[in-house]
A and B are shown apart, each in its own frame.
Chain A
């Protein structure tokens, strides 16, 4: 299994839809997980941190499944402005951060 793996997409959804991305990781000792958002040709920005079973912030929910070693990001009521690449980040065995390749989301009018 790759250290961090994401479905690259692209996910094309209409406005208002609910969409979910998964990210699998190999380091079972990881305690913290992060979702970053990256707009085209821009820098990544922290979207959510996940330290326990999950985290919710408005339309965004991140959940952690330690048994299956994956985290998910759920976006409800998608907006056009949610179009971006979503990057999953997991600390590796040497505590350095491992980044997924990202999942591309396009929200269409």
Chain B
């Protein structure tokens, strides 16, 4: 296993609600990336955190926000949920400088359903 853990594994929310997803990175990894994967699609990059600072962002609106803590764990927050936010949210940790290598270690994901 990768040593990356995510919680919760599954959750159901309604439109307009807010959600917080959590990720513990692999021991020693200082970079965390978050991805959204809709059914039948490849992962879409949301943002990346390196040493507690945002280090790049994909094409997601500001209602998608995040944090990285001193122990390198991370949170993804989504406000004002929309039906299209239903997806698998994947967290990936990495170690190399600024973490922009392709060698990512993924958690099992949090499957969000918005009704």
From A42, A91, A101, contact of B102 by CB (8 A): A91
Whether B41 lies near A97 (C-beta < 8 A) is no
SS of B interface (majority): loop
Q: Which residues of A contact B105 (CB under 8 A)?
A: 46
Whether A43 lies near B109 (C-beta < 8 A) is yes
In the complex, identify which listed stretch (B13-21, B43-51, B64-72, B73-81) lies at the interface while the others stay far away. Answer: B43-51
Assuming the A-B contacts A100-B42, A102-B42, are A44 and B106 also in contact, with contact meaning beta carbons closer than 8 angstroms in the complex? yes
Assuming the A-B contacts A43-B107, A44-B106, are A32 and B101 also in contact, with contact meaning beta carbons closer than 8 angstroms in the complex? yes
- Taking CB atoms and an 8 Å cut-off, the chain A residues in 67-109 that contact chain B are 87, 89-91, 94-102
- A25 CB-CB contact with B under 8 Å: no
Whether B102 lies near A45 (C-beta < 8 A) is no
- B112 CB-CB contact with A under 8 Å: no
Which of A's residues lie within 8 Å of B, judged by CB? Answer: 32-34, 41-46, 49, 87, 89-91, 94-102
Which of B's residues lie within 8 Å of A, judged by CB? Answer: 2, 33, 35, 40-45, 48, 56, 58, 88, 90, 100-109
